[in-house]
């Protein structure tokens, strides 16, 4: 009886041990990448420059000349804009994730990891977790800059934090797209280009910078079902940044943006993590 019980318990314990090992290996790789980022502070500084410039340019150059809802005031547009800038910042981190993995591939570091007795997916998971920490720090600094130029929230702290969690989830999901790109190209330069070229239409054919209701019908439908738009709209609702007279379209993602954001992020994460890990394993075979 005791022997049979021990035999039955062994297979059940094996998945738990594999999961624990995978988590441990992923955290080790994440720690390694965070140390590397700490030794190269210009990576964080340069990563902040672009979103800060977008905040300043759109706030002071376009603010007051773009109509959102029934208002053209600078303050209304400033609050409307910030959710889009936050979302753009977390998704543009995709290029950095892809370039980092491509750089590790180019230097042969990935080959060294493959020779070690570690979980296969840990290298990619650790890298994306480190990128998530960097993205969180970038969001924190960007939020401070936004407050300095006049952005304000009008909901309770719980909803505001929920909005930032949605942003981080979207950024983490998109980092797996970057991981797949980084594994599929030969140089970090190609990974950077490949990580950005599709992000510009994704972010600009959306509700990030203008009211999608003012777009031509064809572009409006694309913007309404854009996963990027769902997170932007969800954050505006959670931050209390919907402008006066604003009416969301009847499209399901715009009527239920929080759920749409969660679903889109989960689907992107599941699909591209599966593809990236499979690409890593096939390259290692």
pLDDT tens over the chain, length 285 residues: 455 544 444 454 566 777 777 788 888 888 887 887 777 777 777 777 777 887 887 777 776 667 676 566 777 888 888 999 999 999 988 887 888 888 877 777 676 776 666 776 788 888 899 889 989 988 998 898 888 888 899 999 999 999 999 999 999 999 999 999 988 887 888 888 887 889 989 999 999 888 888 889 999 999 999 999 999 999 999 999 988 777 888 899 999 999 999 999 999 999 999 999 888 877 655
Distances from the Cα of 183 to the Cα of 23, 42, 178, 275, angstroms: 21, 24, 9, 10
Alpha helices in the chain (DSSP H): 2-39, 42-57, 74-107, 109-114, 122-148, 157-184, 188-196, 199-204, 217-224, 227-239, 252-255, 257-284
Non-local CB neighbours of 235 within 8 Å, separated by 6+ positions: 83, 86, 87, 163, 166, 167, 241
Q: If we measure between CA atoms, which residue out of 132, 121, 231 comes closest to residue 180?
A: 121
Q: For 105, how many CA atoms within 13 A lie in the half-sphere containing its CB?
A: 24
Q: If we measure between CA atoms, which residue out of 97, 96, 90, 85 comes closest to residue 51?
A: 85
- What is the predicted pLDDT for the residue at 92? 86
Non-local CB neighbours of 127 within 8 Å, separated by 6+ positions: 29, 30, 33, 97, 100, 101, 104, 179
| Tokens found for residue 174 | 């998109």
- What is the predicted pLDDT for the residue at 1? 47
pTM: 0.86
| Tokens found for residue 15 | 């998945």
pLDDT digits (tens, 9 = 90+) for 196-247: 889 989 999 999 888 888 889 999 999 999 999 999 999 999 999 988 777 8
- What is the predicted pLDDT for the residue at 168? 96
18/26 Cα distance (integer angstroms)? 12
């Amino acid at each position: 009886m005791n022997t049979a019980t021990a035999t039955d318990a062994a297979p059940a314990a094996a998945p738990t041990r594999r999961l624990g090992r995978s988590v441990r290996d992923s955290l080790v790789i994440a720690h390694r990448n965070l140390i590397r980022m700490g030794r190269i502070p210009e990576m964080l500084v340069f990563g902040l420059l672009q979103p800060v410039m977008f905040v300043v340019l759109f706030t002071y150059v376009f603010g007051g000349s773009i109509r959102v809802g029934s208002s053209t005031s600078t303050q209304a547009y400033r609050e409307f804009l910030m959710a889009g800038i936050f979302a753009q910042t977390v998704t543009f981190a995709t290029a950095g994730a892809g370039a980092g993995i491509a750089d590790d591939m180019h230097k042969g570091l990935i080959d060294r990891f493959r020779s070690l007795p570690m979980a296969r997916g840990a290298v990619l998971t650790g890298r994306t977790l480190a990128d998530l920490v960097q993205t969180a720090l970038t969001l924190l600094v960007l939020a401070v800059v936004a407050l300095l130029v006049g952005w304000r929230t009008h909901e309770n702290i719980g909803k505001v934090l929920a909005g930032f969690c949605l942003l981080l989830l979207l950024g983490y999901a998109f980092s797996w797209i970057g991981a797949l790109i980084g594994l599929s190209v030969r140089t970090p330069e190609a990974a950077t280009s490949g990580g950005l070229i599709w992000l510009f239409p994704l972010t600009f054919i959306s509700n990030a910078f203008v009211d999608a209701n003012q777009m031509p019908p064809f572009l409006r439908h694309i913007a309404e079902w854009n996963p990027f738009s769902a997170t932007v709209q969800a954050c505006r609702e959670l931050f209390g940044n919907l402008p006066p007279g604003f009416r969301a379209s009847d499209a399901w993602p715009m009527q239920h943006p929080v759920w749409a954001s969660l679903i889109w992020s989960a689907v992107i994460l599941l699909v591209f993590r599966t593809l990236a890990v499979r690409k890593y394993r096939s390259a290692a075979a």
